[in-house]
Amino acid sequence: MKNIFLLILSILLLSCQSQAKNNLPAPIKVGAECMAEYVPNLANQRVAVLANHTAMVGNTHLVDTLVAQGVNVVGIFAPEHGFRGGADAGEHVANSVDEKTGIPIWSLYDGRTHRPADKVMQAFDLLVVDMQDVGLRFYTYYITMLRMMDACADFGCRVIVLDRPNPNGMYVDGPLLDMKHKSGVGALPIPVVHGLTMGEIAIMARGEGWCKECELQVVKCENYTHQSRYTLPVAPSPNLPTQHSIYLYPSTCLFEGTVCSLGRGTEFPFEVYGHPDYAGSEFSFTPRSMAGAKNPPLKDKLCYGVDLRSKDDEQIIAEGFNLEYVIDAYRNLNASSGVGERFFTSMFELLVGVDYVREMIIAGHSADEIRAVWQADLEEFKALRRQYLLYEE
């Protein structure tokens, strides 16, 4: 009897395991992996690729994959951080040659122009775009893509965007950009957290007239929705090394527009914030010069502040675009050292996108009171956004 009972229990366990396995969501397949959707369109074309180190097709880079497929890749456009992804934020990167393939690399962050010369644009017929974005208005990859879409429209070049999931695509939050603050870290009248993939941004920008009309194809991801939790297989830039830093990035990036450090020059950028005069904290860190942060703010200065590394990911997502960190630092430093207006730099408005956030923080308003101001604009954007979504919300 005991043996029969154990046999029945084993069968039930195997059945439950099989059912659980069968109920697992299908793995997400990025656009670059859906090769039947785009490789045939590259035949007999002079192809340029706008990509960086994140453009992987399985374990192989997109450029190597296309070359192996016999595609005529004539050039590689490199965005911020360079083709290999190791340069500092905004660092000038020179033109070069890909050592593996001998293909020329044309930098779009060479300090002279963000748009290629005419002779470069005349060197190709079709542009393939593949870069891993993180879903923030001030993350520059989408701006580089839109500039190249404009250039391609002028020269009659087709554009194919190989889409990738947005790791912050599960919510939409923050003030919409006041276009008087348009800059290299904010190009469209969209919220800080826009909830769009690169492909969706491309379609929306073309549809709304935010870029020029070009011939556009978006190769969709498979098995992705905007509620998917997608862990990036490759760090998208030097100072976003972990998934946790990517979730905190929408809110902690605002410290780039203050006198504080957000941990550049440490092993945990965007997961902490602090200042030498921050009072009442035992947690401390010292920014140092390192790869990807050669001259970080408050370099070699002992900073006290707040450690967010243990904060739960789902709590971060539920809180959305969170002004509480900046408000805490402002009030702490104003009380301890009277920083006042000196707490903020001109970069703050370029990041947050509007004037009233700084003004309301200084006036003593809470994060919830400030959040209420952008809600009406945000709802209008959400309705507009739905017209361009490629994936379920």
**Predicted confidence pLDDT, tens digits, the chain (393 residues):** 445 544 444 544 454 454 445 567 899 999 999 999 999 999 999 999 999 999 999 999 999 999 999 999 999 998 765 575 444 454 455 677 888 889 999 888 655 566 899 999 999 999 999 999 999 999 999 999 999 999 999 999 999 999 999 999 999 999 999 999 999 999 999 999 999 999 999 999 999 999 999 999 999 999 999 999 999 999 998 899 999 999 999 999 999 999 999 999 999 999 999 999 999 999 999 999 998 899 999 999 999 999 999 999 999 999 999 999 999 999 999 999 999 889 999 999 999 999 999 999 999 999 999 999 999 999 999 999 999 999 999
CA dihedral 289, 295, 298, 301 (to 10 degrees): 30
The amino acid occupying position 302 is: L
Residue-range domains of the chain with CATH: 31-219 (3.40.50.12170), 243-362 (3.90.1150)
The amino acid occupying position 172 is: V
pLDDT reported for residue 3: 53
Helix (H, G, I), strand (E, B) or coil at 203: helix
pLDDT reported for residue 2: 47
Provide the 10 A C-beta neighbour count for residue 381.
19
pLDDT reported for residue 152: 98
Cα 189 → chain centroid: 17
Distance CA 145, CA 127 (A): 10
In terms of Cβ atoms closer than 10 Å to its own Cβ (0-12, 13-18, 19+), residue 343 is buried
pLDDT reported for residue 109: 65
pTM assigned to the model: 0.90
Distance CA 200, CA 197 (A): 5
Q: Which tokens belong to 106?
A: 């044309």
Cβ–Cβ < 8 Å for 258, 343? yes
Q: Which tokens belong to 185?
A: 């870290």
